[in-house]
Every structure is written in structure tokens, then in C-alpha cells.
Structure 1
Amino acid sequence: MSALMYTGKRTGVRVVVSGERGTGKSTLIAAVATDAFDPAVPPVLPPTRLAADMFPDHVPLTIIDTSSSLENCSKRNEELKRADVVVLTYACDQPMTLTRLTTYWLLELRHLEVCNSIIQVVRCYEIVRVPVILVGCKLDLRNPQEQMSMEQVMAPIMHRFREIQTCIECSASAQVQVPEVFHYASKAVLHPITPLFDQETQSLQPRCIRALKRIFTLCDCDMDGALNDEELNKFQVECFNAPLQPEEIVGVKRVVHERKPEGVNDIGLTPEGFYYLHTLFIERERIETTWSVLRKFGYDDGLKLREDLLVLPSKRFPDQSMELTSEAIEHLKGIFRINDRDNDGALQPHELDNLFSTAPQNPWSEAPYEDAAETTASGNLPLNAFLSEWALMTLIDPKQSLANLIYVGFNGSPASVIHVTRRRAVDRKKQKTERNVFNCFVFGPKNAGKSALLNSFIGRPFSKSETIPTGERYAVNVINQIGGNKTLVLREIPEDEVKTHLSDKTFLAACDVAVFVHASSSEHSWKRSRELLVEVAKQGEESGFGVPCLLVAAKDDLGAYPMAVRDSVAISHELGIEAPVRVSMKLSTMNDVFYKIVNVAEHPHLSIPETEARRNRKKYLQVVNQSLLCVSVGAAIAVVGLAAYRAYAARRNASG
């Protein structure tokens, strides 16, 4: 297998050369730029550009020379912070300069001292996360009696400073390994080793294995768990534009079998063998080969899919959302069945981890997806919950949803898996909706029962001692009903974040239903919930994104605060919304609250609070419409009268 030139997105590499005074920094730069040795170069050279065709990757280099003096420390540090790669020099004929690399220069790179731009007395440390190339200059001047094994000297240094990618010695005057210095510098940026290989354990990084597993799975066309000769050759052609000869395939499998017996079976190359091949490339300093494969299959330097592969359909208005298409849902059902190895209709945690083993990580292992869907008593994820999690991810982060669809095997057009819904404003005008996923915002004061409502929605039993979560969270589930299943997303809005959210005029655009929860037995809870309802209704009216609202009286088992019952009914009637739904999570008396939420969402023109401004506007429109009607009727009568007069005049003229 042979590597291609660089196929990433970088258009240039910025190399900063630093190190002790007199180690040969400027001479090294001049030598590579002119292909000659000049003993009288200036102390600090201006930026030097090396042409793109000078190195195999065909990416130009800009080399920045720096001064070692203390008075130029600030400027040097600024250049180091802008570097893509740092070349640190020492002089082979001055052992002390090598010592200074570990006692000063490498530490300086790790802890560049900068001043806070606002409070000048505050000092902080900024880690320069760039690869480092250690370069021993003046190789021709080394004392022959002080010859030493470079590997023995550098091994402990590289073990301590993992940012060091390569160590090399050169001579500008003898023109020994000068271009190689900058080739290694370029290679460290364009084909970085850190994302792929753990030098401490001498093994592939977990994320690299996950990426290679996806590539292996895509190439294993017959899905038999091994790459046969035909599949291996097809892979070679796709990545390197050159077929493998039969004897080369035999040689590849022989090498793998000798070092990794489980890497080859009767069919061909197994995943373990595929991983070992790439380990071998890296160990033999052919890391560009592995990067060529990864980039061919769409990966960037962070081992994530490139942004240009994640092009979503355009969403023009904030009251539009994104949903999975039926094609995507069928694909996901197939993925579910493949990974449900025991055919019990639910994914065990290890089965779910295996499903996402070709993605950088399991996206549902952390908020907001963790614990957002219903699981079985043993913690497994049923099909409806699996699809619900995908619906949630598509709703709140469609790009991540698309990326993970591709990671788990979808290779079609993005337009075929995610579509943009119709505007909610249009839904209200047409008095119906085509959405399959409803986004419900759950408002309410603290201790009103919001979290318990979400827990009940995903089948978690009521627990009085349960720790109340803080911050925003989601719960998602499928509501089975006549006419087709709907996915309902409940988004809990913390009370202390309402003001911040409502300051965004488009916040309510994404909401299909706003639910206001209050504790039935608490006067304060009801009053605060009512205030939130008024705030949301007002914001909806002002922003033009008015949303249907529903009141929920929680903790019904504790007895109702008498005034709250009467007031809530009166408020509901005044605002033109449904009477409060009374629920008790403790008694599991839910009064079909979730079906009612979906019903409100399906009739988007109803249950929008009748604020005073909205009532006045409706009255105004009624007056205008009546006036237009009167004008229209008057105009019609005038037209009819004129026609009648003309007919009468015509008859009289005819008789005369």
C-alpha cells in the first residue's frame, strides 16, 4: 500500500524555529531556502516561504525565525503561540544547549506566561498544543570522542515531553539532512501522530480504532467479518488508485499472520489484522498512509467527519424544525435489529455501545441524551426509545444526528434522511400540522413537579427521596394513537432561566406546546406558574411566535389549594385555553396528560392564550373585515343597480 499526497484542508504550515543563541537557527533556515551554506547570515531572518513543490505533500511552509534574547522574549512567545509546529534547536558541539531544552525551552513552550488583557495584574499560563521537532545542528562540529547513541539520549526526553514528534541531527555546512528537518515538521502538522497513536502504550488510540472499524465495516461488503482478496483490492484502489497484485495480497496477509495470528482467517483480513496493518505503518514512520485512508473516508484531523460532508437542508425560519425521514427511520430499525443480538426487542448497554463503536463515542452517554428515554427494568433500550433518542438528537442538534447516522452506516444523501418541517405559523393558519415530533416546553416554579412529570413520561416510578436534577433536561417518548404515532419531547425549563430564554425573541419559535406546572397544594406555586404563563403569552404575542398553552396541576394527592382551583379555571376560561389537567405522579394518576399535550400540538390554532393585545387585534380585524364586507355589499348593490338601469334603458330605447 502506498500513500498519497496530503488531501486535508490546510493550505500552509507555519513553522517557528526557536532555541538557544548560537545553535544555528538562522543558518539552518537559510540553508534550506537556498540549498547552500552561508556562514554570514543575519541574526534573525525575516519570514521565509518554502514552495509547495519542495515536499511530497505539496503544501507550502512559512518558516519564522526567532531571537533568543530576553528583550525579544515577548515577540518570540507570540510567534510560538501562532505556530503550527515548533522546531527547537540545539548545537551538537555544545552539550549544554541540549540540557537547556529540557530545563527551559520545552517548559517555556508548555507554560507561556501571558497577561490578562482586562486585569493586567492577573497572570495565567497557556499551553502551546503544537508538535515539536528537536533538531541537533552543527553535526559536522561534534567531537568524535563524544559520539553517543541518539536513541539513548532522546528516549527519556521524548518520554517526558510527549509533544516531541521527531528528533533529528543535521549540518547546514555539510548539507546533511537539512530538508528532512522541515519535511518532518510539515509531516507532524499534516499527518499528526497524536490522534492516531499512543506512544506510551505503543498502540492505536481508541478513537482511531473506532474510525478504522467504520472503514473496515464499509469495505466488508458481504458483512462476513473479514476482507477477502477482492474487498482488500477494492479498498486499495479506492484509497490509493492502484490495485494490489496477487502476490502483494499474499505478502500482506503473511506479514499480519506472523505478527498477529488472529488478524487473518480463512476468509481474509480480520478487523484485528486491519488495525495491526495501520499500527505497522505508524511504527515504520508511514503515518501518512493511515491518514490517506482516514481522509479518503471523510475524517478530519480530529477524527470526526469533515464539515463539508454534513450539509443539512436549509431552514429559513426559526419556527421550522428538522425531523428524520421515513427512509432514515427504516434504516435505523435495521441497525437496531442487527445489534439486538439476543432478539429481545431491546438493546443492552453493551449492544448500544457496539452500535456506536464506529462513531467517535456513544453520543447518548451524556446530557442531554443520557436518561432522556424510557428503558426496561434491566436498563435496556427498546425500539421506540431508540427511535425517540434519534428524534431528540435530530430536533436539537441535526448536524450531530446526521454525523452519527453516517457513522453507523448510512451512506446516502443528507436530504434523504433529514427534512425541514413546515413553519408553525403556517400550521396555525391551516389549522393542522404535518409534524411527527412535537417540542414541548415545561415551565413552572421550583418544586412544582416538573421533573417528576418528565420522569413519569419515561416510565420512572415516583420516588420522594429522588434527587431533584438541576438545569435543563429532556424526556422523549412515543405516543401511540389513532392516525399514527407521534414523538413528544418534553424540555424542562428551569425557573431561574426563563427570563434569559425569553430575552431571545425567537425562543418560543421552536415550541409546539408550552406546559405550565404548579403544585396543587401551594398558593405560591400557582401564582408563580400563572406569572410564567402571562410572561410566555406576552412574549409570544410580541414576537409573533404565540404557542398553545396547557396548565398542569401536579401533586393532586396532597389536596388542592382552594383559591388555586377557582383561579386556574377562571384564568383558563379568560385566556381561552383548556382547564388545568390534574395529575399525581405519586399515585400514577396522570389523567392522559401526555395525550392531551399531543392533542393540543395537533391543533396549533387552538389553546393560544387570548392576551388583551391579541383580543384587541382580533376585534380590530373583525371591525376591518365587517367594514370591508359592508363596502363589498354596497359595491355589489351598486353594480347590480347599474346593470338593472342599463337593461331598463336599453328596453325603453328599443320600444321607442
Structure 2
Amino acid sequence: MFQESIRVAVCGDEFVGKSSLITSLIKETIFESQSNNVLPPITISRNDYNESFKEQSFAKTTKSEYSKDISEYIPNTTTIVDTDPSDHALLTQELKRADVIWLVYSDHYTYERISLHWMPIFRSLGLNLPIILCANKSDLSTKNLWKYQNNDEFIPLINEFKEIEAGVRCSAKNNYNVVEAFYLCQRAVTHPISPIFDAKEGNLKPGAIAALRRVFFLFDTDLDGYLNFVEFNELHKKCFGFMLEIEDFDEIIKYINLKLLDQNSSGISEDGFILLNKLYAESGRHETIWGILRANHYTNSLSLNDKFLSPHLDLNPNASVELSPTGYRFLVDLFIKFDKDNDGGLNEEELKNLFRPTPGIPKLWIETNFPSSILCNEEGYVTLQGWLAQWNLTTFLSYKTTLEYLAYLGFDESNSIKALKVTKPRKTRQKQGKIYRNSVNDRNIFNCFIIGAPKAGKSSLLDSFLHGTYSDMYSPTIQPRLVIKDIEIRGGKQCYLILEELGELEPAILENKKRLDECDVICYTYDSSDPESFQYLVDLRKKNLHLDEIPSVFVALKADLDKQQQRSDVQPENYTRDLFLNSPLHISSSWNSSLHELFIQLVDAAKNPSTSTPGLEIEKSVDEENLKHLFMAGGAIGVMALVSIWMLNSMRRR
């Protein structure tokens, strides 16, 4: 993650050369001061990090051939703060503001003070900052003024204190490794080693391994467990911006095969990929690891970036969200890729493998009883038709879940928003004192509430919609139940219809404005063979007068049984006529043609609410009125002509 600014606190005992190091860094000249004057804070801008500065940089010597130039991650500003060890209050203040500590020592005494004095101070303040050790005045070591003359001196301290990320020998006098020490301070913030590598154990940390395994899985496009040259180059190009030569790839293969004792591998296995990244960490080239992780949207905490998982989508409250053609294409390709046995269905193992780069099957899917909510084949495997229907249901109910999982699953065309489309806002109008919804033309998903008395046949209706079959055994619905399926409407267009049975939560849902706003049409059902069934709907609608604003279709279920006179205040046909609605459609779960007609009517009502809003009389159009008047005039003229002819004939006979 790019950091706009970094604050470096330079700490250490008196006379170790803190100010000299800062001056040498800035002026690139030798600065020797016998005084203990503390320099004011110095800010280096990104532009100040010029070519000559980079030319000396430690990045030049440690940059992997597989990593981008470190300058890409240089912050806009870096502030270096000199500190006075005798001013404890100011020192504490600066340490708490810092992003990284540049800890300087220069001899055996000040070296010992690192573990005995400075590290206890940092820990007592509760700091969790990376620390870069700097052995200054290394030009004096040749005069044997102190015994440490190689980098082994850093190892005990690095092993003892996890905060210490690296150590470097410097000389402010000779301007030796000063830029490198400064670079290490920047790198400790921009490319921290602590989240990805355990120096004590000598291994990548579990979080880093999990992230790298996910990256491997996403780029193993043929799912054979190996990254071949093409797949590895795709990863390499995305992460580092250029392609590898085949010779470089072969060298990597040789190294991994040697380490893993696998002489037959022609690609990089998952374990080999982890081993390769461990090598980068051990050799101090963790920019390469971060290059891989950040190109795949990981943050310093090894979680996926929130903006990547949940990009902002401008959405009108009255609009809905659906899959775009790009989203459909990605999901179809995903299905085909993981249907390894090509049987047209995703079995449990294939589904588990598909969701490997995610936290698991979405919680929303479990709540909607997946896969019972969609069409499966005879073996119970998820078909492509059902797979797309489930994603349409997810997008309709919670587009944020779809965005999140598209990101997890590898949709990365700069922004997962491309996988979605936002429909036009649904507007309302007023006519005849009634509020009704305007027609919609750009939507393909419609939600229908199924309402009716117990045992009216609602569950059988859902089963027949999804599978074409139903069970005669009655089982009361407790929790709301959803099913979704694509249907072909008039004109040959495909759309998705969601049928929702509300169960025991029906009273609460019908009083919930947000839930009612999600409903496009209500299907009022009653058992035509049960004389007590219709009164339930009459009572429910009296109690919930606001339901008149939602398009409605009345359905008489179990029409294959003997029809009974309803013991109700008003008979169904009269009730619907008074509401200016079509008479109840008589259907049976065993009559497929009537079922399909019902589903088409539900979609028609959702698309054209004015034709099915209770209490809203459909006004005849001007053309219809003119045509009616024309027919009446034509009829009158015809009658007059016949009368005239009759009178003329009568006169002739005389």
C-alpha cells in the first residue's frame, strides 16, 4: 500500500554520530561535529530523491531481477527527525509520531546499550515500529577501536528483538552506506519484513503463505497444480510489468527442483512457489514478495484491500443492481473451468475447489438455502443455469456480496464494478388518487412475494416453479424460502424470477418498508378447493392497506380439485373486479401450461405495474376511444343505410 509520508526518528546515545549521518545524507558531504547540537526536522520530497540519490541506493544491490524499481514506492515526503537522548519528554513525543526508528551506535559500549537501554525504552512506550540498526563510524573499525568488524554483530540483536528488521555498517565521514541505511528505513515502512517473514524461525509467516497460495491458485489457470511458463509469465507481468525469458524460468525450475528433490517437474508447484518467495525473504529481497502481494491487492496486514473488495457504486435507492455481460462471461468461464469432469454440474468437491481463494461459500447463500434455491441436476449438482441464477439472486439481494466474491475469485479488470450494471431508478406516479409504480424496461430480475393461508399450496408452487414436480406431503414453512429461475417471457426475452414464501415472518415482513420496496409483485394465493382459504387474503389486506401500492396477481391453486364456494365476505371474482384486477388465474401444480402462464403474468405485472395495481382503473387510451367512436359511427351509418334502402324498396312496390 502506497504511503504518502514517512517519519524517521534517529535515536542513539550521545556522540554516536546521529546528526553527522543526517547531514551526510542530505548534503552528501562529510560533516564532523564535536558538539551535540540537535538538527531540526528535515523533509525530503519525492522529487529530491534524484537519480544520483538512487544510484547510491541499497536498492540497486538488493533489487531482484523479478521486482519493480523501488522508486515506485517512495513516499511523497520523508521527514527525518534528530533526537536528544537527554530530553526524555521530547524523545517520547517524537518516537510516538514516528513510522520507523533509525537506531545508531558506534562502539562496544553503545552497542551493549541497544539491548540494555534503548530496546526496553521502546517497549515500555508500547511502540510497534520497525527498527533499522546502524553501526556508525565504521571507518574507525580498521584501527581496532572496537572488536566488531563484520555484520555478525547484528545477528544476536535481530534474533532477540523482532522489531529490528535489518542492520548496516555506515560511516558519516566517508559517506559510506548512509543512503543505504536511509533506504532501509524507507523500506521498513513501505515493504515491512515483519508481516511476511519470521527471522527467528527462518520461515514465511502463515498469513503470507496463505496469501501466496491464493495468488498461486488464481494463476494456475489449468488447475494442474503447477505454474507453467505462460502462467508464471502472466503473474510476472501483472506484478512487475514485464515478461521473463524462458532461460530465467528454467533457472528457477532447476533451483526449485533441486531444493524439493523433484527432478521431473517442468513447472513451479505450489510448494515451489512458496519456497521461491522464502528465498527472496532470506536474501533481503522482500520487495519482490510485496510486489506479488500488492499487485494482487494485499495490504500490510495481509488482508485484501477494502477498496478492492468493496468498490464504491453510485446507486439510487430506487434502482436495482444486476450482472453485466462482463459479469456473466466471467461467471460462465469460472463454471466451465471448475467443472473438471465436464458433466454440466458442479459437485461438492468442485464447488469447494472453486471457493478456495475465498472465505468459503457466501453467508448469504447459506441463508437462502443454497443449493435448494436453484436448479440442480438429478445428482444434486449445481447446473450452469442454477449457478447463474444464484449469482443473480445474490446481486439482487446484496450486490456488495457479489463484488466482494468477484474480487476473491479473481475478477480483476481494474474494478469489479464492471461486472455489474445499475438499472434506472423505479419511479412512482399518481392517478385517480392512487400512487402506483412506473413501468420498468431495463430490468431482468423480479422479486415476487407468495402470500396465502396455510396449506394453500405455496410451497408446492415454489417446487413446481423450480423442478416441475411437487410433493403431496404438507410441511409448514417456518423461515422465509427463496427460489430463483430464469424464464422466457413474451417476445422470447429471458429474465429471472424470484419467488419468496414468507413463512412465519410474513406479518413482520409485510410491515417492513425496506422489504416491501424489494418486492416487485405480490402473488395472492388461495386453495380453490378449501372454502375457508380466500378469507385469509381479505383479512390480511384489510390489515395492511399499504399493500395496495404493490402490483398484485390473484391465483386459485389446486384447480384440478373440485372448486368450492368461498365462505368469504366477497367471492374472489367479485373481489378482484372491485380492485380493477384480472380474475384469479386457476392453476394446478400438475398443469404445466397454467404454471408458465402464471409466471409470465407475474413478470408482466412487475414490468407494467399500472396494469396490476389494486384500485387503479385502467383508462382506455385515446386511440381505443377514437376507434370505439368510429365503430359506433360506422354502425349508425350502416343502420341508416339499411333503413333508407328498405324505405326505397317499399315505395317502389307501391
The corresponding residue for 1:640 is none
The 3-state SS of whatever aligns with 1:109 is coil
The letter of the residue matching 1:189 is V
Q: 1:239 to 1:581 in 2, by over 3 A?
A: same
Q: Which whole-Å CA distance do the structure 1 matches of 2:499 and 2:120 have between them? A: 56
Contact conserved, 2:10 with 2:104, CA < 8 A, in 1? no
Q: Which whole-Å CA distance do the structure 1 matches of 2:33 and 2:380 have between them? A: 72
The letter of the residue matching 1:17 is A
The corresponding residue for 1:98 is 115
- Pairing of 1:541-620 with structure 2 (within 5 A): 547-549=550-552, 566=569, 599-604=601-606, 605-606=608-609
The corresponding residue for 1:540 is none
The corresponding residue for 1:477 is 484
The 3-state SS of whatever aligns with 2:157 is helix
Q: Which whole-Å CA distance do the structure 1 matches of 2:110 and 2:488 have between them? A: 83
Q: Which whole-Å CA distance do the structure 1 matches of 2:17 and 2:498 have between them? A: 61
Contact conserved, 1:212 with 1:294, CA < 8 A, in 2? no
1:582 Cα offset (Å): 13
* Rg (Cα) greater in structure: 2
Q: Which whole-Å CA distance do the structure 1 matches of 2:552 and 2:15 have between them? A: 74
Contact conserved, 1:211 with 1:360, CA < 8 A, in 2? no
- Pairing of 1:220-235 with structure 2 (within 5 A): 226-227=226-227
Q: Which whole-Å CA distance do the structure 2 matches of 1:327 and 1:41 have between them? A: 65
2:100 aligned to which of 70, 74, 86 = 86
Contact conserved, 1:26 with 1:41, CA < 8 A, in 2? no
The letter of the residue matching 2:79 is I
Q: Which whole-Å CA distance do the structure 2 matches of 1:41 and 1:453 have between them? A: 87
- Judge which range, 100-109 or 405-414, deviates more: 405-414
Tell me whether 1:252 sits opposite 2:249 in the alignment.
no
Q: 1:566 to 1:37 in 2, by over 3 A?
A: farther
Q: 1:11 to 1:334 in 2, by over 3 A?
A: closer
Q: 1:568 to 1:341 in 2, by over 3 A?
A: farther
Q: Which whole-Å CA distance do the structure 1 matches of 2:379 and 2:124 have between them? A: 51
Contact conserved, 2:605 with 2:612, CA < 8 A, in 1? no
The corresponding residue for 2:209 is 205
Contact conserved, 1:212 with 1:275, CA < 8 A, in 2? no
Q: 1:274 to 1:18 in 2, by over 3 A?
A: same
Q: 1:326-370 CA deviation, whole Å, 9 max, x = no partner? A: 56545534432332334554323331232233x4544x3423565
Q: 1:244 to 1:97 in 2, by over 3 A?
A: closer
Q: Which whole-Å CA distance do the structure 1 matches of 2:586 and 2:198 have between them? A: 58
Q: 1:224 to 1:351 in 2, by over 3 A?
A: closer
The corresponding residue for 2:78 is 62
Q: 1:132 to 1:366 in 2, by over 3 A?
A: farther
CA RMSD of superposed structures (Å):
6.2
The corresponding residue for 2:363 is 366
Tell me whether 1:48 sits opposite 2:43 in the alignment.
yes
The 3-state SS of whatever aligns with 1:49 is strand
- Judge which range, 47-56 or 452-461, deviates more: 452-461
Q: 1:37 to 1:333 in 2, by over 3 A?
A: same
Tell me whether 1:273 sits opposite 2:290 in the alignment.
no
The corresponding residue for 2:26 is 33
Contact conserved, 1:513 with 1:547, CA < 8 A, in 2? yes
Q: Which whole-Å CA distance do the structure 1 matches of 2:459 and 2:27 have between them? A: 70
The letter of the residue matching 1:86 is V
Contact conserved, 1:90 with 1:101, CA < 8 A, in 2? no
Q: Which whole-Å CA distance do the structure 2 matches of 1:149 and 1:452 have between them? A: 78
The corresponding residue for 2:335 is 336
Q: 1:234 to 1:320 in 2, by over 3 A?
A: closer
The corresponding residue for 2:9 is 17
Q: Which whole-Å CA distance do the structure 2 matches of 1:41 and 1:528 have between them? A: 90
The letter of the residue matching 2:26 is A
Q: Which whole-Å CA distance do the structure 1 matches of 2:84 and 2:393 have between them? A: 55
Q: 1:600 to 1:255 in 2, by over 3 A?
A: same
- In the superposition, the TM-score normalised over structure 1's length comes to 0.61
1:63 Cα offset (Å): 2.3
Q: Aligned residue pairs: how many?
A: 554
1:39 Cα offset (Å): 5.3
The 3-state SS of whatever aligns with 1:603 is helix
Q: 1:496-524 CA deviation, whole Å, 9 max, x = no partner? A: 9879974x8xx866542357999x999xx
Q: 1:390 to 1:26 in 2, by over 3 A?
A: farther
Q: 1:202 to 1:360 in 2, by over 3 A?
A: same
Q: Which whole-Å CA distance do the structure 2 matches of 1:593 and 1:436 have between them? A: 20
The corresponding residue for 1:644 is none
Contact conserved, 1:373 with 1:458, CA < 8 A, in 2? no
The corresponding residue for 1:436 is 444
Q: 1:96 to 1:336 in 2, by over 3 A?
A: same
The corresponding residue for 2:157 is 153
The corresponding residue for 1:389 is 390
1:288 Cα offset (Å): 1.8
Q: 1:378 to 1:528 in 2, by over 3 A?
A: farther
The 3-state SS of whatever aligns with 2:110 is coil
The corresponding residue for 1:635 is none
Q: 1:266 to 1:368 in 2, by over 3 A?
A: closer
1:258 Cα offset (Å): 0.5
The 3-state SS of whatever aligns with 1:439 is strand
1:298 Cα offset (Å): 6.8
The letter of the residue matching 1:87 is I
1:478 Cα offset (Å): 1.2
Q: Which whole-Å CA distance do the structure 1 matches of 2:198 and 2:545 have between them? A: 57
Tell me whether 1:534 sits opposite 2:545 in the alignment.
yes
The 3-state SS of whatever aligns with 2:71 is coil
The letter of the residue matching 1:389 is Q
Contact conserved, 1:516 with 1:552, CA < 8 A, in 2? yes
How many percent of aligned residue pairs carry the same amino acid? Answer: 23
1:513 aligned to which of 514, 521, 540 = 521
The corresponding residue for 1:118 is none
The 3-state SS of whatever aligns with 1:438 is strand
Q: 1:67-93 CA deviation, whole Å, 9 max, x = no partner? A: 87665599558x54xx6x332647561
Contact conserved, 1:131 with 1:188, CA < 8 A, in 2? no
Q: 1:205-243 CA deviation, whole Å, 9 max, x = no partner? A: 2122212332343xx7xx876555576667667765666
Q: 1:433 to 1:226 in 2, by over 3 A?
A: same
The letter of the residue matching 1:282 is A
The corresponding residue for 2:284 is 285
The letter of the residue matching 2:182 is F
The letter of the residue matching 1:57 is S
Q: Which whole-Å CA distance do the structure 2 matches of 1:193 and 1:516 have between them? A: 63
Q: Which whole-Å CA distance do the structure 2 matches of 1:278 and 1:108 have between them? A: 34
1:259 Cα offset (Å): 0.7
Q: Which whole-Å CA distance do the structure 2 matches of 1:32 and 1:496 have between them? A: 73
